[in-house]
Structure 1
Amino acid sequence: MAFEVRRELLDECVHCGFCLPTCPTYVLTGDEAESPRGRIYLMDLATRGEAPVAGPVTRHLDSCLGCLACVPACPSGVRYDALIEAARPQLNREVPRDRLFRALVFGLFPYPRRLRVAALLGVLYQRLGLRRLARRLPPRLRALDGLLPPVRVRDLFRRTPSTAGVRGGWRC
């Protein structure tokens, strides 16, 4: 599998570490490979053919939230946004993906109304004691179970602030 990212973008990183405290995944894990600097290093290895794309390279690039908080923190002006933008389509083409799981995540989380319905199902799941069955689920679904916060029905009907410009600034 060929992995290609523009060399000049990779070479801009001087590995100073200013991006580290701005990266949520690095702050959470403390793992260098979970930082923009570490991901750039992995992209460089993959581009030179010294690391297989499948495995750690994919895992660490996939865990990037894409928040790009690292971009303004970089004194060298590394265009991490361009790097991750170039890498993700290659990963999607070259590494097998769980398409159903990805469709679920991308079809649910960006939509507040759909998320409310899912949260209502989460309330039922918790109240009916179905968490005991979670031990028998595949690892990825068990991980989702671990992320499910305690949800109260009344919280589902609270008004939440919306993005600017949407019907008076509030949406239910």
Structure 2
Amino acid sequence: MPARRSHHESGLQTTLLSDTERSVLEHRAQGRTKAETAAALGIAESTVSGHVSRAAGKLVTSGAPATLNAAYRTGQITLPDAVTGMEFSDDERRLWQEAATRNTNIEIARALKLDPGQVGSALRDLMRRTGARDRVHLVMLAYAHRILHPDFGSGSGAA
């Protein structure tokens, strides 16, 4: 059976995610580990990774953070409720935006013209400050804090 394609208002043409792929991404967005997601869905941890990989292929991304970003951008998973009360600097906002579309600290560092070590330290600080458990959870929190929105960025994960 051929994959179903959708042309989203963002201009992205994507293949629609399966219910399980969406569910896996939504669990990971909530800060659940692969093991926790697997247990909650009654599947193997390796199956969680497989669903994220298939979703990445359909959304033309690589890496779970960029895949989650693309799923939000294409309306394939529900945006989180807004969170208010925290202020973020322009540097933190740019870091958050790059972390949602790039896979490595080196790619983020190139985009921001920083040292990769500075990027790692700044990401750890941002994760600590926001309570993010990992980079995937950090992307969801960027949407919750309205740092990111569905019409932001390419979602490609490419440098």
TM-score computed with the length of structure 1 as normaliser: 0.25
Higher radius of gyration, 1 or 2: 1
Higher relative CO (Cα under 8 Å, sequence separation at least 6) belongs to 2
Query: Going by fraction, where is helix more abundant, 1 or 2?
Result: 1
TM value normalised by structure 2 = 0.27
